[in-house]
Amino acid sequence: MRKVLLPSLIIIAASLLVIRIFYLQIIDDSFKLKSENNAIKIKYDYPERGYIYDRYGKLLVANQASYDIMVIPREIKNIDTLEFCELLNVTKEDFIKKIEKAKVYSPRLPSVFLAQLNKSEFAAFQEKMRKFEGFYFQKRSLRDYEVDYGANIFGGITQVNEKLVASNPYYNSGDLIGKQGVEESYEVTLRGIKGVKYIQKDKYNREIGSYKDGKYDTIAVQGEDITLTIDAELQKYGEQLMINKRGGIVALEPKTGEILALVTAPSYDPGILVGRQRSKNYTLLYHDSIAKPLYDRGLLAEYPPGSPFKILTGLIGLQEGVINENTTFFCHHGFSYGRGRFMKCHNHPPAQQLHNGIYNSCNTYFAQTYMLTINKYNNPAYAVDVWSNHVKSFGLGQYMGYDLPTGKRGNIPTSKTYKKIYPNGGWRSTTIVSNSIGQGEVLMTPIQLANMMATIANQGHYFTPHIIKKIEGEKIDPKFTVKHETTIDKKYFPPIISGLFDVYNKGTASRLRVEGIDICGKTGTAENFAKINGKRTQLKDHSIFVAFAPKDNPKIAIAVMIENGGFGATIAGPIASLMIEKYLRKKITRNDLEIRILNISLKDQYAKLGGMAAASLIETTPKDSVMKAKMNKPIPKEVKITKADTTQEN
């Protein structure tokens, strides 16, 4: 027995060791993580973000170097604080505060002392940096905007939020990400792929070389440049015309669905949201809840479209066979329906056919047409759905699928809508007749209005609006080249188009003709209300105008919406015609009209909604000297607006 003790002990002891090692190495995996936290540091190499160009190749957004001054508190050695503060333009108190903050974070690890200095701010410091032990710089890339417009199109760059860091493994805390505009929708293309370097640390947290000879390291992939469909000149012009107004302009190329201009007002210079002033300026803009400069009205603002919607009412009437080109309705300043209800109309000859019904914007004509359409079927619910499907085939009442991150669906009512409003039934064509003239439950955004015009210009089809023209070495989304057909036969479009053409010749926009360009358009006005001091108050109507040109072979379809601009032909109409001229001719012949529009200010109107916020100082102001000069010119008397100009319509 005595011989067995030692061998047994050896085997028992060895088994004990193996079991414990098995536990440490195989069962408890917390050690693996601890070892990585211990010894490996991950460093990222951020590639330069792709550039952004306009449709003609004009550079809009590039990058600029910026410099973060970093500090390792423990390594600071007898520096001349006074000189240091002077060079970086910080106060001594600030200096002490920042150093204390860095120390709290870690005395051994680098913290950002001063972020995002531009080249000139940095240059003076760089020369003397040797003298300041413990400080060094880190180069970063920031957006450099070559233009002072298009802020809503570009969007911006910001730090990722913690929620995204948790859900998307690509991003780490502190990374930058595109927010809003194309920076957001083409984030993956523009940002490229950051490179990763694994670095071996020692117990003092010092770097002692690359981990596994860089076996897991990856090289950064450069961000790709993108070309937008935007016409920079047109965009700029649109934003200038919108100075001192609120609203949106959307211009599309009907043949392709390309977005030529996407204007929202008020806007701001994208350059003010870069670098050291970013957070201050962003806060100002963010808190301006009345003018809402960060709100893209072209995509987000839902309005009752008003008269332009009559175009669809007419088309659907033709398609459903309840009217033809020659159908005549009589209108005596309005239209009686239901029990003593009356829809007012304006001053025009009583006998209306489709053609002059459009250019006179006759409410009676389209209300009748709409009622015939609904009454064609015995069941109003079914009829509304038939009508609704026709309307939706124009891309309305839905997110259109364009490549910008924000949008609104608008609203095209269906039988369900009315079931909700009238749960006990009892609604019929007269109940919902307001839809016929683009009021009632119908809501549309400016881009939907523009798309509607593009569809009419194309006589029955449209392409999903999009802002991307070209991605370097990549195909754009094929969904943008798919033709969407409407439910309206092609043959019904020419009579409507000729009516729209005569809006310029004989109708509500006859004063806005541009010599040599055949424009088809339609004015619109939307009533609106606001709560002022707790009272529901009717404000001046929104001014709406939709158009496309030229009549044959259309190159541009446009929707203009001016909040509280009054009648469609007052402000929206002229802006649309100036935009069309600018796009087709690249220059403006009607200088007087241009100067008048530039000088229109609706500030007084908007003041009723609440005082202009502090942000108004950094919201759009003309920076262009030519534009400034034009705006200071007095309005020429002979083209001053007269009452007759603003033929009343609904």
Partner 1 sequence: MKNQSVKSNIDWISVIIYIALVVMGWLNIYSSSLSSTDGTYEKQLIFILLTIPLIFIVLFVDGKFYEKYASIIFGVALLSLVGLFFFGKTIAGQRCWYAIGSFTLQPSEFTKAATALALAKYLSDTQVNLKDVNRQVQALAIVFLPVLLILPQPDPGSALIYCIFLLVLYREGLPSWYIWTGFIAIALFVLTLVLEPEYVILIALLVLIIMHFKGRAVDRNLILSAILLALISGFVLSVDYVFDNVFKQHHRDRFNILLGKTVDMKGIGYNTNQSEIAIGSGGWIGKGFLEGTQTKGGFVPEQHTDYIFTTVGEEWGFAGSVVVIALFVGLFLRVIYLAERQKTKFSRVYGYCVASILFIHFFVNIAMVIGIFPTIGVPLPFFSYGGSGLWGFTILLFIFLKMDANKVNEW
The whole-angstrom separation of Cα 414 and Cα 442 is: 10
Angle at 438 between CA 436 and CA 440, to 5 degrees: 85
Q: Which residues are within 8 A (CB) of 467 and not within 5 positions of it... i.e. 6 or more apart?
A: 153, 182, 185, 228, 229, 230, 258, 259, 262, 402, 403, 404
Q: How far is CA 483 from CA 84, 228, 330, 463, 557, in A?
A: 63, 20, 39, 5, 17
Residue 8 lies near partner 1 (rule: CB under 8 A) = no
Least Å from the CB of residue 14 to partner 1: 5
DSSP reduced 3-state for 137: strand
Please check whether residue 564 is in contact with residue 572, taking contact to mean a CB–CB distance below 8 angstroms.
Answer: no
List residues bridging with 520 in a β-sheet. 548
Residues in the chain: 650
Whichever of 22 and 342 has its CB closer to partner 1, that residue is 22
Residue 18 lies near partner 1 (rule: CB under 8 A) = yes
The whole-angstrom separation of Cα 301 and Cα 262 is: 13
Strand-pair category, 461-463 with 468-471 = unpaired
Residue type at position 517: I
Whichever of 30 and 78 has its CB closer to partner 1, that residue is 30
Please check whether residue 317 is in contact with residue 369, taking contact to mean a CB–CB distance below 8 angstroms.
Answer: yes
Site residue total, partner 1 (CB under 8 A): 38
Residue 17 lies near partner 1 (rule: CB under 8 A) = yes
Span near partner 1 by CB under 8 A; candidates 38-46, 298-306, 507-515, 544-552:
38-46
Least Å from the CB of residue 138 to partner 1: 24
Span near partner 1 by CB under 8 A; candidates 15-23, 51-59, 61-69, 310-318:
15-23
Whichever of 6 and 644 has its CB closer to partner 1, that residue is 6
Whichever of 37 and 324 has its CB closer to partner 1, that residue is 37
Q: Report DSSP state, residue 328.
A: -
Residue 92 lies near partner 1 (rule: CB under 8 A) = no
211, 237, 303, 567: residue in contact with partner 1 (rule CB under 8 A):
211
Least Å from the CB of residue 197 to partner 1: 15
179, 194, 201, 461: residue in contact with partner 1 (rule CB under 8 A):
201
Span near partner 1 by CB under 8 A; candidates 2-10, 64-72, 388-396, 630-638:
2-10
Residue 42 lies near partner 1 (rule: CB under 8 A) = no
Residue 202 lies near partner 1 (rule: CB under 8 A) = yes
Q: Which residues are within 8 A (CB) of 441 and not within 5 positions of it... i.e. 6 or more apart?
A: 411, 412, 413, 417, 432, 434, 435
Whichever of 31 and 170 has its CB closer to partner 1, that residue is 31
Q: How far is CA 594 from CA 239, 581, 598, 631, in A?
A: 13, 11, 6, 9
Span near partner 1 by CB under 8 A; candidates 199-207, 287-295, 371-379, 598-606:
199-207
Please check whether residue 624 is in contact with residue 240, taking contact to mean a CB–CB distance below 8 angstroms.
Answer: yes
Least Å from the CB of residue 172 to partner 1: 20
Residue 221 lies near partner 1 (rule: CB under 8 A) = no
Tokens of 628: 């400034």
DSSP output for 95-112:
HHHHHHHHHHH-SSS-EE
Span near partner 1 by CB under 8 A; candidates 3-11, 132-140, 420-428, 622-630:
3-11
Residue 133 lies near partner 1 (rule: CB under 8 A) = no
Residue 109 lies near partner 1 (rule: CB under 8 A) = no
Whichever of 26 and 644 has its CB closer to partner 1, that residue is 26
Span near partner 1 by CB under 8 A; candidates 68-76, 195-203, 334-342, 395-403:
195-203
Q: Which residues are within 8 A (CB) of 10 and not within 5 positions of it... i.e. 6 or more apart?
A: none
H or E stretch covering 89: none
Span near partner 1 by CB under 8 A; candidates 36-44, 261-269, 347-355, 415-423:
36-44
Residue 10 lies near partner 1 (rule: CB under 8 A) = yes
Span near partner 1 by CB under 8 A; candidates 82-90, 127-135, 138-146, 205-213:
205-213
Residue 28 lies near partner 1 (rule: CB under 8 A) = yes
The whole-angstrom separation of Cα 453 and Cα 481 is: 18
Residue 203 lies near partner 1 (rule: CB under 8 A) = yes
**Interface residues with partner 1 (CB under 8 A)?**
2-3, 5-7, 9-11, 13-14, 16-18, 20-22, 24-26, 28-32, 34-36, 38-40, 200-203, 208-209, 211-212
